[in-house]
A and B are shown apart, each in its own frame.
Chain A
Amino acid sequence: MDRTTTEWNFSLNVRASVLAVVLLAIGLGLWEGLNQVPTLGGGGAELSEYEKLMAGADETAKVPPPSEILVRAWEELSNPFYDAGPNDKGIGIQLGYSLYRVLTGYLLAAAIAIPLGFLIGMSPLMYKALNPYIQVLRPISPLAWMPLALFIIQDSEASAIFVIFICSIWPMLLNTAFGVAGVREDWVNVARTHELSPMKTAFKVILPAAAPTILTGMRISIGIAWLVIVAAEMLVGGTGIGYYVWNEWNNLDLTSVIFSILMIGVVGMLLDMSLSAVARLVTYEE
């Protein structure tokens, strides 16, 4: 029984991988085939200097094909940390700036959201008192805070971090409160019959019991923070992957734009995977 299950899983994985590769090949093939830089004339005539420059401007401009993007990716990734002035930094440096902002804002948010969520989850009074404010503040687009943050903080770097802070606090706060409020009465009773102090009860019973729910909130938050940082950096400029995308658009370098879009996806996936690994550590089966 066990054997067959494993074999079936194995073959499912293999089939899924094959299908994924085939879909990728078709997608890239179509993209490559449909987006070649046009060559002019049926007779194989040489292009004039002007025509080359305009890349056959009688047709609409084409999205660069995957082959070009791969070449660009190879160039960028083989030297990710070069720094040739404000407008020409390696992709590694740009991603590093973005990660620094995201992690700073995110960790600040966690440092406030988790204790506050504990409080709200454990005290119905605090829940009722704070809930209206949370409900009003939560749906505000994080970027709407940007002008106010720039005015008050007067520093674009710190403002970007503040925007990350404000967008990642809500899922962590609400999930922590929800997880703490939902801890089974039986487990709290176990702590009570063993005369655990309130602090010990919080750390030894409620925290491990609510940890999977808290981690879910942290995963949602890091995802949102990574979405928001790109937009925030497009606004504040200077450094970071969001700024890089916008800068390359201004340079009309679509190859770099597409390459950086892919990098944003890869880094976001890595962030999510690392938190999901932590979540697996604290998950328990009832």
Chain B
Amino acid sequence: MNHAFVEVQQAAKRFPGAKGEPDLTVFENVSFQLKKGEFVCIIGHSGCGKSTIMNSLAGLDRFSDGAMVMEGKEIDGPGLERGVVFQNYSLLPWLSALENVRFGVRARWKDWDQARVTEHSLEYLEMVGLKDVVDRKPAQLSGGMRQRVSIARAFATKPKLLLLDEPFGALDALTRGVIQDELIKIWTRDRQTVFMITHDVDEAILLADRIFLMTNGPEARVAEAVEIDLPRPRHRAEIVKHPHFYKIRNYLVDFLVTRSAEMDPADLDRKGLHYPRAVNPASEDATAPATASTKDATDDKLVSFTPKETRHG
């Protein structure tokens, strides 16, 4: 059986309840696939477990249930083939911008000599427009600059899967726009697979090939996978003029404002392994979501599941 590049199957996160109370289930029955080179954003309200999913993919956290497979190998612990950009940058404050990037590059290619490590690091710092401040410590950089260093560090190690945990959450709108452009530029060059958490609908539409929508926690689910078929390269100023843009945007906002809270987890749970319903808001039938199309999609996406198959590759 062919596996996707990254496969998450029936993941769940539970916390033991206080004495006598049932366990708290943050999310369960979460299954999805990431294709190689795909840019996927995941949106959901706080508390739905987005960060847990991301940290588990990074190997820093664990699901209570379920399996994660990347290129046929189970994900168990952190690794260099998965790069992480944290929301709070996580730069080492005693190292300069250049040294922070070198830190990653040296860990990735242990046999490289100093000059090559520096050259490679500078190349990525230049890509995010930080050529002139490479010797500054993080404390001497603005928030936007710090996040750029963090992005340069993650991309410079050329991980197969990049995990971005709300990387622009703490930045002002203008800086955010500039760095989004840089992110697109650097991603277009290397075409890594990216999985990104965001709260910003416009940002998700600008960047993503698909957007996963999560219902509200506890008992959250990944309900739908919205396909963004806007042509690339995309530019912030131009995509809003595309006829599909507002259809997609309205669909996402509607989900976040009303449907994410109203969806009953029981309706989403079907027998066996199933992936979130693929939705294309731009096409006719999906403009009236939920009821009618659900049944067809359900049968389509029902995949037979035997746990053993996840291990071979």
Contact = CB atoms under 8 A, between A and B. Distances in A.
Interface of A: 186-187, 189-190, 192-196, 204-205, 208-209, 211, 282, 284-286
A208 B96 CA distance: 13
A204 B107 CA distance: 11
A192 B59 contact: yes
A196 B139 CA distance: 24
Contacts of B247: none
A285 B93 contact: yes
A91 B125 CA distance: 58
Interface stretch (B5-13, B74-82, B253-261, B285-293): B74-82
A194 B94 contact: no
A209 B94 contact: yes
A208 B107 contact: no
B92 A195 contact: no
A195 B137 contact: no
A198 to B, nearest CB: 13
B107 A194 contact: yes
B139 A284 contact: yes
Given A193-B84, A285-B137, A208 B92 contact: yes
A187 B103 contact: no
Given A189-B84, A190-B90, A192-B60, 20 more contacts: A189-B60, A189-B86, A190-B103, A192-B78, A193-B58, A193-B59, A193-B60, A193-B79, A193-B80, A193-B83, A193-B84, A194-B80, A195-B78, A195-B79, A205-B92, A208-B92, A284-B94, A285-B93, A285-B137, A286-B139
B94 A195 contact: no
B92 A190 contact: yes
Contacts of A286: 93, 138-139
Contact of B90 (A189, A195, A208, A285): A189
B97 to A, nearest CB: 14
Interface residues on B, range: 20 to 34
B58, B60, B94, B108, most chain A CB atoms within 10 A: B94
A187 B92 contact: yes
A190 to B, nearest CB: 5
B90 A187 contact: yes
A195 B80 contact: yes
B107 A196 contact: yes
B157 interface: yes
14 contacts: A186-B88, A187-B92, A192-B60, A193-B78, A194-B103, A194-B104, A195-B80, A195-B107, A204-B103, A205-B92, A211-B94, A284-B94, A285-B93, A286-B139
Contacts of B103: 190, 194, 204
A285 B92 contact: no
Contacts of B78: 189, 192-193, 195
A192 B59 CA distance: 9
B59 A208 contact: no
A208 B103 CA distance: 14
Contact of A194 (B60, B86, B108, B138): B108
Contacts of A209: 92, 94
A120 B287 CA distance: 60
Contacts of A195: 78-80, 107
Nearest to B108: A194
Interface string B127-146: 00000000001110000000
Interface string B165-182: 000000000000000000
A190 B93 CA distance: 12
B94 A193 contact: no
Nearest to A286: B93
B259 to A, nearest CB: 34
B78, B84, B104, B108, most chain A CB atoms within 10 A: B78
Contacts of A205: 92
Nearest to A285: B139
A286 B140 CA distance: 9
A286 to B, nearest CB: 5
